[in-house]
Structures are given as structure tokens and as C-alpha cells.
């Protein structure tokens, strides 16, 4: 099973966060896929960097851009699930000028 923890628009992500449900949801999904608890640094990145990214998208008028969080980099299953390479966030939407599908990979820091 390929890993994907969350798929929401930037606006919906901030709403989930304001209800204090985002990090617990991500942590529960992490445990389901990885079989271990998410580290404190992982949780901190979600609580800080992910929220800041969503705020920046909204400030830029892109609150409807989808944020696909912690997803597997390939569809191939690794032999050891802890070896799975993850993309922190994939931003998915439409280019504002061409209206064609647009994607951006983001590494949270």
C-alpha cells in the first residue's frame, strides 16, 4: 500500500489545524503506514512548516491548491517499509495563466 497521510486544500489544512486535529491525524496515519510513532521532529515539521506553507499559499491567493502530505515517492513497495522514500508535500493545482495542471514538490525545513 502506497503511503499518503493527508490530501487537503491549503485552506482546509488550516481549518483542520485550527481545530487541533491536523497533527494527531497525521500521526495516526503515520503509525498506520509505518508501524511506529512519528518522531518529535516530524510532528514539529507538520505543526510549523506545513502550517506556514499553507498560510503562504493562502496569502498568495492559492488557498485552493491541494497539499498532498508525506506521500511515497514511487508506487513500488519497498521490501522494508521503513526504507520508503517520502515527499514532504506535493502541491497540486492549476497554473494561474495556462490553467494546465501544475505540480510542485516541497521539502519542509
User: Measured between alpha carbons, how far is 20 from 15 in angstroms, rounded to an integer?
Assistant: 9
Which range of 9-13, 71-75, 77-81 scores highest in mean pLDDT? It is: 9-13
Per-residue pLDDT band at 1 (split at 50, 70, 90):
very low
User: Measured between alpha carbons, how far is 54 from 60 in angstroms, rounded to an integer?
Assistant: 10
Helices then strands (H, E): number in the chain? 4, 4
**pLDDT > 90 fraction of the chain, expressed in percent and rounded:** 68
Q: What is the DSSP letter of 82?
A: G
Residue 100 has pLDDT above 70, yes or no: yes
Q: Grid coordinates representing 49? A: 512548516
CA atoms within 13 A on the CB side of 54: 25
Average of per-residue pLDDT across 49-57: 96
Task: Name the average pLDDT for the chain.
Answer: 88
Q: What is the reported pTM?
A: 0.84
Amino acid at each position: 500500500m502506497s503511503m499518503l497521510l493527508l490530501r487537503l486544500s491549503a485552506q482546509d489544512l488550516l481549518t483542520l489545524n485550527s481545530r487541533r486535529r491536523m497533527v494527531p491525524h497525521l500521526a495516526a496515519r503515520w503509525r498506520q503506514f509505518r508501524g511506529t510513532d512519528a518522531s518529535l521532529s516530524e510532528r514539529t515539521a507538520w505543526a510549523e512548516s506545513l502550517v506556514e506553507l499553507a498560510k503562504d499559499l493562502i496569502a498568495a491567493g492559492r488557498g485552493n491548491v491541494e497539499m498532498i502530505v508525506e506521500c511515497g515517492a514511487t508506487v513500488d513497495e519497498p521490501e522494508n517499509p521503513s526504507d520508503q522514500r517520502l515527499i514532504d508535500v506535493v502541491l497540486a493545482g492549476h497554473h494561474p495563466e495556462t490553467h494546465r495542471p501544475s505540480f510542485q514538490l516541497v521539502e519542509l525545513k
